[in-house]
């Protein structure tokens, strides 16, 4: 959302495009991969990156489809807000699952 304040004729436009690219093509899938694959199902680094990019484009397509079918319509603000909401929800769910996994593993490691 901060990238909306960077003007298109500023030298900071490179950072704007870089952050938007990462936000759209990597972050939603990365959060979803962290929700789905924890513990024994943990993925390697390369598998995690590739799956993050693929799932990001899938999630972006679904969000775009739902926004396009809604009365709001597709514009920059609606896409930015909806993708931010999806990433925020997935990140919170991933954090909760990781904290639960750490909480479950802590007593086992102490007694072992």
Domain extent listing, the chain: 14-111
For residue 85, the model assigns a pLDDT of: 94
Q: How far apart are CA 14 and CA 6, in angstroms?
A: 10
Tokens, residue 29 = 């899938």
Q: How far apart are CA 107 and CA 110, in angstroms?
A: 5
Q: What is the pLDDT along the chain (112 residues), one digit of tens a residue?
A: 555 666 667 777 777 788 888 888 999 999 999 999 987 888 899 999 999 999 999 999 999 999 999 998 888 888 888 999 999 999 999 999 989 888 877 665 555 5
Q: How far apart are CA 86 and CA 25, in angstroms?
A: 13
Q: What is the CA radius of gyration of the chain?
A: 17
């Amino acid at each position: 959302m901060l990238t909306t304040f960077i003007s298109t004729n500023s030298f900071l436009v490179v950072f704007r495009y870089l952050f938007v690219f990462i936000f759209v093509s990597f972050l939603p899938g990365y959060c979803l991969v962290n929700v789905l694959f924890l513990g024994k199902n943990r993925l390697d680094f390369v598998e995690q990156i590739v799956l993050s990019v693929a799932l990001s484009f899938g999630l972006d397509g679904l969000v775009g489809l739902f926004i396009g079918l809604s009365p709001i319509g597709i514009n920059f603000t609606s896409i930015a807000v909806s993708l931010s909401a999806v990433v925020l929800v997935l990140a919170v769910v991933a954090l909760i699952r990781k904290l639960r996994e750490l909480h479950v593993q802590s007593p086992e490691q102490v007694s072992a």
